[in-house]
Structure 1
Amino acid sequence: MNSHIKRLTSLAQYNIALTHLLAQCIKSGASLGFNTCNNTQPLSAYWEAVDMQLTSRMFLGYFCDNTLVGCVHYTRCLKPNGVHRAEVEKLLVHPQYQRQGIASALMQSLECEATKQGIELLILDTQTGDNSEKFYQTSNYIKCGEIPHFVRDSNGLFFSTSYYFKKLLSTS
């Protein structure tokens, strides 16, 4: 299998693949800001909005045999006192490709690119108790807090979200 990570500067040609990837991750139980994926229009609209904001974002796609099976992006802080930080968003790996090191490869590439761009601090959030917490902890992200009652699932149940950060090596 031929696999590689590619920086994407436009998402338009990948909208269908990204929408499918997001839908499959939601179906597998991931908390990604959407309660259901029965209607893919909001998922597609999400990627369209991300595409229009790529000037402040860095987006990586993971491809296996030219099929997009994973992605991650970060958004730089645009405030003058926060240009050294970025927020990691939507680390996704298709359920059929999980547990193969793809998430780790994406995060390592993201951190490398962030360092090259002078970003020294990455932050992220994830649903408390989700499997992703173990992944981020193993990847040396530090949990710095938890907000209760933060998200609601399709059944109306509330869940907390956990916040993580990682200081990157400075390039200066």
Structure 2
Amino acid sequence: MITVEHLTHLSPNSQNALTKLLGRCIDSGASLGFYKAAESNMLTKYWQSINRELENKLRLLYILYDNNEVQATVQLALCHKQNGRHRAEVEKLLVQPSAHRKGYATKLMAYVESHALKQGIQLLVLDTQSGDKAELFYQASGYTKVGQIPNYVSDQEGRFHSTSYYYKHLKL
């Protein structure tokens, strides 16, 4: 059974599961701010910082479970500027590498977009490495590409890659 949960804090079990998921995604080649094979302590520190942001209501975190197993997660970084509270940034859409092409990302993003509207968020923005398969997913999900920045990120060999920017207006 597939369920989606909005978490307001990370339990040790959730943090452990998310650390493993992030590590697997990085090891499978995803560009997520860490070089392949990221050190476990770096990933743990990352989730600890996310937990602080959840507790301070700076971010929303969602997890998709299939039969009580974490299969996917995504975050919304909230804008707290007075003139920007209607928007959020989609960050770290992660799907278990062994579970790709099962529709988890689509189900999770549909839930997130619906929940975002209920929170008064009407505009989502995101970035992803140009040429990555994630671009096709976001385009198929109704996101519009507005451009790219060359040489935005580097890989562990020192090669630079462009990042593409997308947005989606959520329908009321």
What range is the shorter-chain TM-score in?
Answer: over 0.9
Separation in 1 of the partners of 2:158 and 2:142?
32
Give the unaligned 5+ runs of structure 1. none
Asked whether the equivalents of residues 37 and 43 of structure 1 are also in contact (C-alpha less than 8 Å), the reply is: no
Match of 1:91 among 88, 93, 100: 93
Say whether residues 1:3 and 2:13 are aligned partners: no
> Which position in structure 1 is the counterpart of 2:43?
43
Kindly provide the amino acid, as one letter, of the partner of residue 45 in structure 2.
Answer: A
Separation in 1 of the partners of 2:45 and 2:129?
23
> Which position in structure 1 is the counterpart of 2:30?
30
Out of 35-44 and 113-122, give the one that drifted further.
35-44
Kindly provide the amino acid, as one letter, of the partner of residue 136 in structure 1.
Answer: Y
Separation in 1 of the partners of 2:62 and 2:44?
17
User: How far did 1:9 drift?
Assistant: 1.5
Separation in 2 of the partners of 1:86 and 1:38?
27
Question: Residue 53 of structure 1 aligns to a residue in which SS?
Answer: helix
> Which position in structure 1 is the counterpart of 2:162?
160
Out of 33-42 and 160-169, give the one that drifted further.
33-42
Match of 2:151 among 130, 149, 153: 149
Asked whether the equivalents of residues 12 and 51 of structure 1 are also in contact (C-alpha less than 8 Å), the reply is: no
Separation in 1 of the partners of 2:152 and 2:38?
23
* Alignment TM-score, normalising by the size of structure 1: 0.95
* Alignment TM-score, normalising by the size of structure 2: 0.95
Q: Size of the alignment, in residue pairs?
A: 169
> Which position in structure 1 is the counterpart of 2:78?
76
Deviations, residues 51-110 of structure 1 (Å, cap 9, x unaligned):
100112111101122111110110110111101100000000001111000000111011
Identity of aligned residues (%): 47
Root-mean-square deviation (Å): 0.9
> Which position in structure 1 is the counterpart of 2:112?
110
Give the unaligned 5+ runs of structure 2. none
Kindly provide the amino acid, as one letter, of the partner of residue 43 in structure 2.
Answer: L
Query: Moved runs in structure 1, 4+ residues, more than 4 A?
Result: none
Separation in 1 of the partners of 2:102 and 2:52?
31
Asked whether the equivalents of residues 72 and 90 of structure 1 are also in contact (C-alpha less than 8 Å), the reply is: yes
- Relative distance call for 1:57 and 1:162 in structure 2 (3 A) is same
